[in-house]
Structure 1
Amino acid sequence: MAKIRRIEPNIPRLGGRKRVAAYARVSMETELLHHSLSAQVSHYSSLIQSNPEWEYAGVYADEGITGTSTKKRDEFNRLMKDCDAGKIDLVLVKSISRFARDTVDTLNATRHLKDLGIDVFFEREGIHSMSGEGELLLTLLASFAQAEAESISANEKWSVQKRFERGEPNTGILCFGYDWNPETKSLTINEEEGKWVKYIYEQYLGGASIKGLTLDLKEKGVRGKRGDLMGRTTLRRILSTETYVGDLLLQRYFSPEIHKPKLNEGEMEQILVSNAHEPLVSREDYAKVQERLNRRAKAAHNHGYEKTFFAGLVKCGKCGYACNHVLYHRQPADKAYIECNKRKTKECDLLPIRELELKGIMEQIAGCRENVERITLFDGHIDFLMKDGTVKSHIRKYSGDGFNKTPFSRKIFCGYCGSSIVRMGGNKRRTCWMCSVKKADKAGCEHELMSDGELYGAAQSILGTEENLDMEIYLQIEKTISYNDRIEFYMKEGGKKVWQRR
C-alpha cells in the first residue's frame, strides 16, 4: 500500500520569540492622512508589543509617498535592508495597496522575503505570503490594486486636462523670480529673486555668455529656488522661459505612464495663457534674447555634428557632474574634448578624453549611441549603461589628454630649487627631463639631465607594472621630486616611494 508523507517547506525554524515589524504608508501629506498614518503606527506598535510571543522590531512608515514605485520610499527600502540583515522574522501590513500598487513590485518584494524565510501578513486580505495559496492570491489582488491605481491616474489626468482648458495650472509652480500664491492660484514677483532675473537678461543682452554668467552669479553667491548654485542649464532655462513675460505654458510635461512625467515635445496639446501674471521682462527684450539663443544654437550646429554628439549623455564618475564638449580657441573640430564641468573651476581633476576617441570606444562597446542610456567617465575606466540595463566597462589607456602630454606633466619638480622639471626634445632617443631654472640659466641649478627611459624605468619599478604604465602613473602618482641621486614618488593614496638613481 502506498505511503503518503508530508514534506514541510525548507524554512529555518526560529528559536525564541519572533521579531515582528510593521510597514505603513499614506500617499498624500494632509492633516487627515497624517493622523491616519499616526494611527497605523500606534496600532501596530501596541499590537506587536502586547503579544508575548513577539519581539518588537519597529514600525516603518512612509508619509506622502506614492505606492506605484519603491524607489523613493526610504522607509520601505530600510525595511527590506533590515530583512536582508536578518533583523526581522514577520512583517505586518494593513493591505496589499499599502505595501505597493505595482504588481511586479509587490511580488518581487514578497518573493524575496519568502526566500529569506520572512512572512508578510496582509491584515485586510488575511493573507500570509508563506502560505500555499498566498502567491496566487497576492498576484490577483496586486493586479486589482494596480488596475485601481491606473483608473485613479486616468481620472486625475482627465481633471488636470479640464483645468488646463480653463487656463488653470494643475499645482503650484516653482519658478525662480516668483512665488506661488495658493489663494489666487497665480504667481507673484519675489523681489529679491526678480532683480537677479532682470540682471541675467540685461547681462545676456549686453553680450555676456551663459558660461560667463554662471561664474559671475557663483561669485555673487546667487542661488536657485532650491538653494543650489545656478548652472548653465538653469540659466538657459531662465532665458528661454515665457513665464518671465507674464505668460504660462500649461502641460509642459505629461505622464504617459503612472506618475512618470515626460517633457511634452508635441505628443500632447499645450495651452498658452497670456498675461497670467505680472512680467519681469519686456516682450521686446525676451524676443531679442530668443533671437540670440537661436543664433548661437544654429552656429553650434553648423560647426559640426561631433560638437553635440554626447550632449546630456556623459557624467563624471568622480564628482557626479555632467561632462560636456570643450573646444579650445582656434583648435580644429577633431581636437574637441569631453571633460567634467567642474574642471575649469579646479573642483574636479577628472582626466578628459578626446571626443573622437570616446566615440570610437562607444561604437566598439555599444554599437551606436541609441543603445546607450548613460556614460560614466572615470580616470581609469569608462562605464556604459545600456538601454537594456546592463553595464559594460572599458579600461582607459593614457594617450595624452591635451593638458598633460605625458602623465608626469605638471607633477615633477626639482629637489634643489623647487622649480618644475620640463621635458625636452621631440625625438624619443633624445628626450630628457631638465630643471626649468637650469634651462634658462645653466649655472642656476645643480640638477643634472635625466633621460625619459630612466624616469619611466623608475616608475615601472615602483609601480610593478608594464601594461598601461602611463595610466597607472597618472592614477597612482601625485607628485615626483627629482634629485641627482634619487627620485621620490609621492603616491595619491599617501606615502612616499624612493628610487635610487645609478
Structure 2
Amino acid sequence: MKVAAYCRVSTETDDQLNSLENQKIFFNDYINRNPGWELSKIYVDEGITGTSIKKRFAFLHMLRDAQSHEFELVLTKEISRFARNTLDSIYYTRMLKNLGIGIIFLNDNINTLDKDAELRLTILASIAQEESRKTSDRVKWGQKRSMERGVVFGTNMLGYDLRNGKLYINEGEAETVRLIFNKFVKEKKGTHVIARELSEAGIPTASGKNKWYGAVILKILKNEKYCGDLIQKKTYTPDYLDHEKKYNHGEEDLITIYNHHEPIIERELFCQAQAELKQRLLLPGEKKKYTNRYCFSGLINCGICGHSYVSRSKKLKDQGVYRYWRCYEAVQRGKQHTDSNGNIKGCNNSTITEEDLKFILKDLIQKLNIDKEELLSNVYRIFKKTVNEDYKSTEPKQIQEKLQKNILKKQYLIDLYLSNEITETDYNVLKQKYETTISQLRRELEKRIQKDKDTNQITSEVKKKKVLDDIRQILFPVINGLEWNDIFYHNILDKINIYRIEDTENSDVTYAEVYLKGIHNSFTYQINKSNSSFQSRGRYRRTGTYGNR
C-alpha cells in the first residue's frame, strides 16, 4: 500500500522548523515499521497557517496527487496540522474518502475510514478551530498594544529603514522623497510627470528598479510617515479563517501617534501637498489622472488619437484663471512626432477653451426642441425628494450605532478577561473607557431624540417650501440655456468628440461633436480659432445635426 504523509508548521522560527524536520523523520520511520506500506511522498507546508488552504501549496499538491491515485492512505500528526477550519476538515476528508483514500490522525487516534470517524473528527476539528480563533484574538490584542506603544509594523519604505519596530532615515532615499514633494508642491508638476522625470533620470525606486509610476508617487505624497506621524491599522483582517486583509473604512479604530519619529519632510510642506492633492481631487491609486472635479471631466474625447481630454489652467495678470482642455497624449508627449524606435507619439489635435464648451452646450440647450417645462418639473421632483430626505434627522440612528458598537466592545472585553487573555489592569482601564463612552452616548441620544420631538413641524415645512421655491428659480434659467450650472450639464452630457481638420483656407478649424444622454442624434459645432474674442458668438457655427458616427 502506498502511503503519503502531510505535515505543516505555521511559522518559520527555528524551533518550528526543527519540529518539521522531526515530523518528517518520524513519518519515514513509522511507515518503514509497517510491513506492506510503501512511502509515496511527504508533503510539507512551511510557515503557513492552517485556517485556510488557499496558500498551502503542498496540501493542494497532495489533493491533486490523490485524484491521480498516487497513494491509498495519508498520515498526519493531528487534526490541527491538517486543517483548523472545521468545514475544510470535513470537506477534504470526505473528498479523499470518496476516492478510496483514508486519513489517519495519529495523535487523535482517528482513521477516517472508521464508521464513527466523522463525528469524532467534527468535534475535534471544532475545538481546533476555536483554538485558532483564540490565538488570532491574542495576536491582534498584542499587536494593538504594541502599536499603541509606538512599535511600527510593516516593511522598509522609500526613505526609511525599519529595524526592530523603529524607523530610521535612509539619507540616500530621503533625497528622492524630498525631490518628489518639491516637484509636486513647488513646481506644480503632476504625479505622472514626476514619475516620467524620475524614470528618465535613472533614479531607483524603493525596490531598486528604474521605472516609476504615478500611483507610486501619489502613495508617497499621501504617506504621513514622511512628516514624522504614524497611523496604523489602515487595514484589518475581519475573518481569522481566510486571513484576507481589507482596507479599514471605520470598521476599527486607527492608531495615530503624532511626532513619532524623525521626519524627512517639514510638516508645512507636507500639509501643502495634502492641500494640493485635495484641490486636484486625485483618485486613490490615481488610476485616472483627472476626475469629476470639473463638469467635462472624462466626457471629452480626442477624435484623432482616441485619448481623453484633460483640464489645464493658467493664471492671468488680473488674477483670473484661463481654463482650457487638451488631449492627454499631447499633454504627455507634445505634438505628433516619431521617436527613436519609429513609434508615432504625441497628438496635433486642437486645444479647446472651457468658455467655448460652455457656450456650445448653452446654445444647444436653447435650440433643442424639447418641452423645457416638463424637464423642469422632472428635475424639480428629484430635488423635492432629496430635500424631504434631508429634513429627516439621521443623528439618532448614527448615535445608536456608535452606542451598540461600544456595548459589543465591552462585552468582548469581558470574554477576553474571563479567558485570561488580558490582565486585570488592562481590563479595568478599558472597562472604564468603554463605560464612560457608553454613558456619554446615551445622554447624547436622549437629548437628540427630545430635540427632534420639540422641533416645530410647521417651521420645517415652511423652510422646505422656501428651499424648493429657491431651487425652482435657480433651475429655470439653467434648463433654458440662459445660465451655466456644472451639475446640470455634467449629468445631461454623454460625450464630446473633438476633431481638427486641416484646411487650405483656414488651417485651424475645430469641430466639436456633442452627444446628449437620451438623444440619438449628435450635434456638430465648428469653432473658428482665428477669432481670439472669447465672447463673440460669431466664433461658432452650428454645422447641423447628424446621426451617431
Residue 96, structure 1, aligned to residue 87, structure 2: no
Q: 1:301 aligns with which of 276, 289, 292?
A: 292
Residue 150, structure 1, aligned to residue 141, structure 2: no
* Counterpart in the other structure of 1:48: 31
Q: Deviation of residue 224 (structure 1)?
A: 3.2
* Counterpart in the other structure of 2:263: 279
* Counterpart in the other structure of 1:318: none
Question: Any idea what SS the aligned residue of 1:34 has?
Answer: helix
Matched-pair contact (CA < 8 Å) for 1:253–1:263: yes
Q: Deviation of residue 305 (structure 1)?
A: 10
Residue 213, structure 1, aligned to residue 204, structure 2: no
Matched-pair contact (CA < 8 Å) for 1:167–1:273: yes
Matched-pair contact (CA < 8 Å) for 2:196–2:212: no
Question: Any idea what SS the aligned residue of 1:223 has?
Answer: coil
- In structure 2, C-alpha distance between the alignment counterparts of 1:247 and 1:79, rounded to whole Å: 47
- In structure 2, C-alpha distance between the alignment counterparts of 1:231 and 1:102, rounded to whole Å: 40
Residue 67, structure 1, aligned to residue 50, structure 2: yes
Q: Deviation of residue 176 (structure 1)?
A: 2.4
Which digits, 9 at most, give the CA deviation of each residue in 1:398-443, with x for residues without a partner? xxxx9xxxxxxxxxxxxxxxxxxxxxxxxxxxxxxxxxxxxxxxxx
1:144-183 map, 5 Å: 144-169=127-152, 171-182=153-164
1:61-460 map, 5 Å: 61-169=44-152, 171-182=153-164, 185-205=165-185, 206-219=187-200, 220=202, 222-225=204-207, 229-258=211-240, 259-297=243-281, 300-303=291-294, 307=298, 327-328=308-309
Unmatched segments (≥5 aa) in structure 2: 283-289, 300-305, 313-323, 329-338, 342-496, 498-549
CA 1:77/1:221 → structure 2, altered by over 3 Å: closer, same or farther? Answer: farther
Instruction: Please report the TM-score for the alignment, with normalisation by the length of structure 2.
Output: 0.51
Which digits, 9 at most, give the CA deviation of each residue in 1:58-95, with x for residues without a partner? 21111111111111112111111221222121111111
CA 1:307/1:97 → structure 2, altered by over 3 Å: closer, same or farther? Answer: farther
Which digits, 9 at most, give the CA deviation of each residue in 1:234-288, with x for residues without a partner? 2211110100111111222222221332222222222221222221111111111
Q: Deviation of residue 221 (structure 1)?
A: 5.9
CA 1:67/1:227 → structure 2, altered by over 3 Å: closer, same or farther? Answer: farther
CA 1:53/1:231 → structure 2, altered by over 3 Å: closer, same or farther? Answer: farther
Question: Any idea what SS the aligned residue of 1:22 has?
Answer: strand
Q: More helix per residue: 1 or 2? A: 2
Unmatched segments (≥5 aa) in structure 1: 1-17, 309-324, 337-344, 347-401, 403-502
Matched-pair contact (CA < 8 Å) for 2:298–2:309: no
Question: Any idea what SS the aligned residue of 1:302 has?
Answer: coil
Instruction: Please report the TM-score for the alignment, with normalisation by the length of structure 1.
Output: 0.55
- In structure 1, C-alpha distance between the alignment counterparts of 2:210 and 2:40, rounded to whole Å: 38
Most deviating of 96-105 and 291-300:
291-300
- In structure 2, C-alpha distance between the alignment counterparts of 1:67 and 1:199, rounded to whole Å: 45
CA RMSD of aligned residues (A): 3.2
Amino acid at match of 1:122: F
Which digits, 9 at most, give the CA deviation of each residue in 1:170-204, with x for residues without a partner? x344422211111xx31111233222222222222
Matched-pair contact (CA < 8 Å) for 1:247–1:274: yes
* Counterpart in the other structure of 1:322: none
* Counterpart in the other structure of 1:441: none
Q: Deviation of residue 213 (structure 1)?
A: 2.6
- In structure 2, C-alpha distance between the alignment counterparts of 1:94 and 1:295, rounded to whole Å: 60
Larger Rg: 2
Higher relative contact order (CA 8 A, sep 6+): 2
Matched-pair contact (CA < 8 Å) for 1:174–1:225: no
Number of residues of Structure 1 aligned to a counterpart in Structure 2: 303
Question: Any idea what SS the aligned residue of 2:260 has?
Answer: coil
- In structure 2, C-alpha distance between the alignment counterparts of 1:229 and 1:140, rounded to whole Å: 54
Identity of matched residues, %: 35
